[in-house]
Amino acid sequence: MIIVGGPASNGIDEAISKILRADLIKAESKVFPDGESYIRYPRPLGNEEVVIVQSTYYPQDKHLIELFLMAETAKDMGASKVTAVVPYMAYLRQDRRFKDGEALSVKTVLGILSHVGCDSLVVVEPHHPEALKYFKGEVKLVDPIPALAREIKKEVEDPFVLAPDRGALSRAERLAKELGSPFSYVEKERDRTTGEVRIKELPQGNLSGKDVVLIDDIISTGGTMELASKVSYKLGARKVIAAAAHALLVNNALDRLKKAGVKDIISTNSVNVQGDVKVVDISELIAVRL
């Protein structure tokens, strides 16, 4: 087995290589003056199984193109099997057409990944796992909830797990099981044109005096968790922390959450996290899936 570190491998490639005692190759990359991506393997791959580690956080399109180039080139060079380890898989949230005429982005992206020769795909906490049906090969999921729970336990005394919307309820239930706590969700409503979010239904359960743990797969702009934090304090929460598999934190999300009273943010190294965030290493969780 050869581990290939892509330009957005975020150190996970090196950790996996050490854990599995496998050879590590760093893919050479650059961007041409016109913006096109260049990829090269510095040595032959032989008839080996190749595991490409490449997350697809911002800039998503660039990192996806690099992944496609690495995958097809590995197959062209004779790799017996190509596995793509994509800790954060972009475009999975566009898994249905919310408005007529919209692109089904997840189908397109996973279709290309299948076409360029990926035999297997490893993803950490996808938005909707069923959307991965568009990938033609083997799919392996990595569950970061137990690892996040171990870090969360250091920060809370009497936890109450709260999903910031109904879609995250299964994650809240999984985390609550790890923490031995009650759980509920906030019902939100999003304007598909403006992106504005409002609370539709308050959570059930007693949040008074509780350390509320907000859990979701992604923190992007932070708008959903901002509302959930404010609701939690109105219902008597002692403090609020936020946890997610993927902390994208775009458009000043970190400041937004802090202003809403979120005391701590806990996430993983699936993306290159910036700012005051406690990061849990998921390299070992990925390694055991290979």
**Chunked in runs of 10, what are the mean pLDDT values of the chain (290 residues)?**
97 98 98 97 96 97 98 97 98 85 94 97 94 96 97 96 89 96 83 63 82 96 92 95 97 95 98 94 97
Please check if 217 is assigned to a binding site: no
Q: Give the architecture (CATH level 2) of 145-281.
A: 3-Layer(aba) Sandwich (3.40)
For the chain, which residues make up each domain, given as ranges?
2-142, 145-281
Nearest by Cα to 51 from 29, 21, 81 = 81
Residue 97 assigned to a binding site: no
Return the pLDDT at 138: 97
Q: What is the pLDDT of residue 187?
A: 79
Domains 2-142 and 145-281 agree in fold = yes
CA angle 133, 138, 144 (to 5 degrees): 85
- Identity of residue 16: I
Amino acid 63: pLDDT: 98
Q: How many CB atoms lie within 10 A of CB 217?
A: 19
94 is in an annotated binding site: yes
- Is 220 known as a binding-site position? yes
- Give the C-alpha separation, 149 to 27, whole Å: 34
Residue 137 in marked binding region: no
The pLDDT score that the predictor gives to residue 99 is 85
Give the pLDDT confidence score for residue 94 in this predicted structure.
79
Q: Is 188 a catalytic residue?
A: yes
Query: Of the candidates 279, 283, 220, which has an alpha carbon nearest to the alpha carbon of residue 253?
Result: 220
Distance CA 61, CA 112 (A): 13
Measure the CA–CA gap between 26 and 8, rounded to whole angstroms.
11
In the chain, how long is the greatest CA-to-CA distance?
A: 61
Range 2-142 classified under CATH 3.20.20.80: no
- pTM for the structure as a whole: 0.92
Answer yes or no: is 256 a known binding residue.
Answer: no
Position 194 scores a pLDDT of: 64
**pLDDT score at 95:** 77
Choose, from 81, 188, 210, 239, the residue flagged as catalytic: 188
